[in-house]
Chain A
Amino acid sequence: MPDPTTTNLWHPIAACADTPVGTPQRTTLLDTPITYTLHGEGHATAASSSMLPVLIRYGYIWTSLGTPTADLFDIPEYAEPDRRRFNAASVSVHVSAPRAVENFLDMSHFPFVHTGILGAEPHTEVKEYDVETSAERDEVLATRCRFFQPQPSTAADQGAEVEYVYRVPHPNCAVLYKSSVIDENRRDVIGIFVQPVSQERVRAHMLVCVLDDRSDDATIKRFQQTVFGQDKPILENQFPKRLPLDPRAESPVRADRVSIAYRRWLAAKGITYGVIPAA
């Protein structure tokens, strides 16, 4: 049985755009088989042994096996009409949900895993950044994250030092805001919404919500799929697959401050699903 916090969360189960209308579909959430149907007019239903609550938000169908205690986190930029916004991919990965989220929050792998795109040697240093865990908003926030990127996005012609903000507003979902090459006052928004299929298997749904007036949807999707395709074999070679919450279980360095805060936040929430709780 998943812990109560996990049971009562909203979880993403599919992108609306990838779901045929009116035909029941199957998926698995928290080891539980689920049937769901997308009806017309932005309405969906879902059931396991009984009917489940359903929400459609950010182009995805969300459900819960318990009673969601809070509304889903807000992404105000999603409402901005000039953004390109869609599901870039839903990818199965043999890893726990928190390992997938932690990878999304990590800058120091860019030069080694996303070589020539999001990073390149010798630009490997992770400069000091700020991390806070907001009790009021119940989220982990990393700001002033800066990294040199050879190809920051599909809208970029050249490399640039890019500034990131990372937000973790949900134990299995994270959102990043990175400098836009189109408008210096705005940021591209990319979200990873992880569906825990089991404690060690996920479907990772990737939302793009970006400023790009020159690339077609396929190009933007291909860029994200390339990047995530580079992460997948790394994630699937991580052991243990569940995220260890004991701070001594692995060897964090200063660059990992956001991961340390994330692990602490999960522990404080009493999450045991997909993690190895500290003794």
Chain B
Amino acid sequence: MSAHAWHPIAAARDLPPRHVFHAKLLGQELAVWRADDGYVNVWENRCLHRGVRLSIGLNEGQELKCQYHGWRYASRTAGCTYIPAHPEGAPARRIANRIFPVIERHGLVWSALETPPDDLQTSLPPDPLVLREIAIDAPAAIVEPLLAAYDPPGHGPRPIFFIQPTDSESCVIRGVIPEPPPTDTLALLRLHDAALCALRDLAEQRPAA
């Protein structure tokens, strides 16, 4: 699970207008938000001023506003644009939040803690059917073999799975179906949801101490 690799951190639909989404990748908390022009920002989830989570802040369209002191950070650069306690002065140029690389593709939002060497490589179509994410209280290494053996009866086209390693003890399964049938997608979603919940229960079983 490399810091230099692309990992999914959210579904595209988790980022409706003016929302801030709280994500986590490899132990790093992220504030993820879509600006009004569609650009997706992936930032360290901490205001530089006093450490308050930016995921409880306000998405104002082109800026994210911290709940604590109203500091504003610009979309794309994450540079601080306004400090209300000192409305006359421009903020120091060095005040910019940490940003992470981002790609929105295949109905998912992808990021990495360090810049990956290559573009995201998948053979997926642009608009696959995105399954509900399944958060699991078990490390990715436990979930991987279970997913490799995933084969619920009567499921039709096989989903492609990605594992988002949230930290060393937990992960999120993000599945997409590349070529979903034109009808009855709800039944398909329900089938996979039930099967993946059963997989989660298996993964979370701890051997008795």
Q: Is the CB of B67 within 8 A of A253?
A: no
Interface centre among B49, B84, B86 (most CB of A within 10 A): B84
Q: Is the CB of B51 within 8 A of A125?
A: no
A-chain residues with CB within 8 Å of residue B86 when the two chains form the complex: 125-126, 253-255
Given contacts A124-B84, A255-B85, A234 and B70 within 8 Å (CB-CB): no
23 example contacts (A-B, Cβ-Cβ < 8 A) are as follows A109-B68, A112-B70, A122-B87, A124-B70, A124-B87, A125-B88, A234-B52, A234-B67, A237-B52, A237-B53, A237-B56, A238-B51, A238-B52, A239-B46, A250-B49, A250-B50, A250-B51, A251-B48, A251-B49, A251-B95, A253-B49, A254-B85, A255-B85
Q: Is the CB of A240 within 8 A of B51?
A: yes
Which residue of A is nearest B56, CB measured?
A: A237
- Size category of the binding interface on chain B: 20 to 34
Which residue of A is nearest B53, CB measured?
A: A237
Does B83 sit at the interface, judged by CB under 8 A? yes
Contacts between chains A and B (CB distance < 8 A), count: 63
Within 8 A of B (CB), among A194-244: 233-234, 237-240
Quick one: which of A124, A233, A234, A240 contacts B85, CB cutoff 8 A?
Answer: A124
Secondary structure of the B contact surface, majority rule: loop
Q: Is the CB of A111 within 8 A of B84?
A: yes
Does A18 sit at the interface, judged by CB under 8 A? no
The 7 closest A-B pairs by CB, nearest first: A124-B84, A108-B85, A255-B85, A126-B85, A237-B53, A251-B48, A112-B70
Q: Is the CB of B53 within 8 A of A112?
A: no
* Chain B min CB distance to A246 (Å): 13
Within 8 A of B (CB), among A248-278: 250-255
B-chain residues with CB within 8 Å of residue A130 when the two chains form the complex: none
* Chain B min CB distance to A203 (Å): 22
Quick one: which of A112, A250, A254 contacts B67, CB cutoff 8 A?
Answer: A112
